[in-house]
Amino acid sequence: MLNVPSQSFPAVGSQQRVAPAGQSRNKVALKPGHSLMDWIRLTKSGRDLTGLRGRLIEVTDEELRKHNTRSDCWTCIRGMVYNVTAYMDFHPGGEEELMRAAGIDGTDLFDQVHRWVNYESMLKECLVGRMATKVSAGIKSQPETEETRTQVNGLTPPPVPPPPSLEPPAAPLPPKDTRPRYDWFQTDATVNIVLYTKRKIPAAGCAVVDLIDGALRIDVVLGKLSYLLHWRLPHEVEERVSMHTASAVGKIQVVLRKKAKCKWSELGDPLEAHDTFERRKDRRIFYRECVLASKTDVTHDTRLFCLRLPPGTHMHVPVGTHVYLKASLIDSEVVKPYTPVESALLHEAPPTEGSEGSQLFLMVKIYSHGALSPHLDSLQIGEAVCVSSPEGPFSLRQLRGVTHLYLLAAGTGFTPMARLIRSALTDLPTLRKSRLMFFNRQERDILWHTQLDQLAARDNRFEVEYILSEASDSWTGRRGRIQASMLTDFLVQPEGSKCLVCVCGPTAFTELAVRLTQDLGFSDEEMHAFQG
């Protein structure tokens, strides 16, 4: 299905979606001195950003609605109220987008595109207080005592009823008999945890295992759902964890190696969210600390970073999904999404033993005024950065039976296409043709230019065409930006074919490419737009 939110946020045609000519990033051109780093510095300056001189208050619905103007703008996210007036000129989407949540609960608008953003850190100096909890008449009649009065400290959101959703009602969870379950057994040397997912799973696996400081966390991703096991282990084990997958029967086995040959009476004490089965979007994003193993130049401003996962982590990132990187800059957390690639477009040799599931490769464009990319570029080998578990709705099921795979990419929108190309050419028996139309500003911006050309020369099922918007006089290829005339001959639908069109790039590029593709008669089921 086409992965474009049904309720568009940011709004179609807004400043955040439509990039000025010549810019590759869909953000409002902020005034000098209004970058993310400038905002972080402002929050550390001691300036009163709430107008309450440090007081925290309970906010009623009526009070929240009063603060709905450009010069006095409050909004609520997950039960906590923030005065975002000072943030207006710093918001990458512009004040128009921020004003959509003025004086109301903006949780759903925020979650549609920014669920991963650490707003608590970014807006902690803007915290007004919490929404007043609505109680029944019977409770209201009880006198307030020191024990029953709830204090607001601004550190953690209070337990308030969830706000009404702006989205259609979510599908109910599967019935209990389809719920995953687990069992375990042991030998003198090992502890074996067996998970039964009760459905067919990818051969590469769908579980992320983290063994950190004696706590074992196993998160099994099953489509839009997540099954989590989480224990504090009773005895010490070796850091190295093994995982075996039987895809046809949906079984996953995690093997721990005992440090001492003793008999375990239990797996340990349950920790947060143990043995829960819920929607992935409701699961808290989990991070582990990885270290930089290497970095190499891809182009003049893009690097290939190799991150080594902790010894106790085993994580396979599915094709078409991304991870979030988190770093603390000036005592504030900055989070950005990146799509992993392989170390090369196609491997000449199989991965070395132990490398699969233990390292990530990220292709990152370094923006001189960016918040996170300059920090990544400044990291020395062995220094750490936090990496989340995989996120994103793309599934390889969308490739089943596909004969013609068409890829439209702009700039670093190429990153999800890199693994998709590799997967299609190596694992998709029905594939007859895969074509990539790759848009860049200049020839020096083309990622993996040589590797793409070599692949096209080696495999006649793959074709690539480069389009440059700022080509030099020596460029002999096509010039310009994406338009209908370019796609007419590119997106062909031979009789009896099954086609899939994938799009990724800046938001304005993605929206235009989707519209032009639809105009050529492709249905939503024949398209996937990568977001974020």
Query: In 263-414, which ranges are continuous DSSP H helix?
Result: 373-378
Contact 528, 500 (CB under 8 A): yes
pLDDT at 402 over 70: yes
> Which residue in the block uniquely carries the two structure tokens 């007043």?
132
Residue 351: predicted pLDDT: 55
Query: In 311-407, which ranges are continuous DSSP H helix?
Result: 373-378
Query: In 48-176, which ranges are continuous DSSP H helix?
Result: 61-66, 95-99, 107-114, 119-122, 137-140
Of 74, 77, 52, whose CA–CA distance to 160 is shortest?
Answer: 77
pLDDT at 509 over 50: yes
Residue 480: predicted pLDDT: 95
Cβ burial, residue 186 (10 Å; 0-12/13-18/19+): middle
Strands (E), 269-353: 269-270, 276-279, 287-297, 302-308, 313-315, 323-329, 332-338, 340-341
Torsion of CA 430, 390, 379, 368, to 10 degrees: 80
pLDDT at 27 over 60: no
* Rounded Cα gap, residues 154 and 45, in angstroms: 19
Q: Grade residue 14 by pLDDT with cuts at 50, 70 and 90.
A: very low
Contact 106, 114 (CB under 8 A): no
Mean pLDDT, rounded, of the chain: 84
Minimum mean pLDDT range among 3-7, 124-128, 252-256: 3-7
Across 107-120, average pLDDT: 73
Across 480-509, average pLDDT: 94
Of 449, 529, 451, whose CA–CA distance to 4 is shortest?
Answer: 529
Of 44, 18, 41, whose CA–CA distance to 29 is shortest?
Answer: 18
Across 67-77, average pLDDT: 91
Q: Which residues pair with 408 in a beta bridge?
A: 437, 503
Across 368-373, average pLDDT: 85
Of 190, 189, 231, 225, whose CA–CA distance to 207 is shortest?
Answer: 225
Encoding tokens for residue 351? Answer: 């991965």
Across 517-527, average pLDDT: 95
pLDDT at 458 over 80: yes
Minimum mean pLDDT range among 9-23, 78-92, 106-120: 9-23
Please report, rounded to a whole number, the percentage of residues in the chain having pLDDT higher than 70. 83
How many Cβ atoms sit within 10 Å of the Cβ of residue 187? 10
Residue 140: predicted pLDDT: 42
Residue 532: predicted pLDDT: 53
pLDDT digits (tens, 9 = 90+) for 210-252: 999 999 999 999 888 999 999 999 999 999 999 999 988 999 9
pLDDT digits (tens, 9 = 90+) for 316-362: 888 999 999 999 887 788 888 999 999 999 766 555 545 566 899 99
Residue 95: predicted pLDDT: 79
Minimum mean pLDDT range among 61-65, 133-137, 512-516, 518-522: 133-137
Q: Grade residue 116 by pLDDT with cuts at 50, 70 and 90.
A: low
Please give the angle made by the CA atoms of 96, 162 and 129, to the nearest 5 degrees.
65
Across 452-478, average pLDDT: 96
Residue 371: predicted pLDDT: 81
Residue 115: predicted pLDDT: 65
Q: Grade residue 156 by pLDDT with cuts at 50, 70 and 90.
A: very low
Q: What is the pTM of this model?
A: 0.72
Residue 248: predicted pLDDT: 87
What is the DSSP code string of 437-476? EEEESSGGG-TTHHHHHHHHHH-TTEEEEEEESS--TT--
pLDDT digits (tens, 9 = 90+) for 188-203: 999 999 999 998 888 7
Across 275-304, average pLDDT: 94
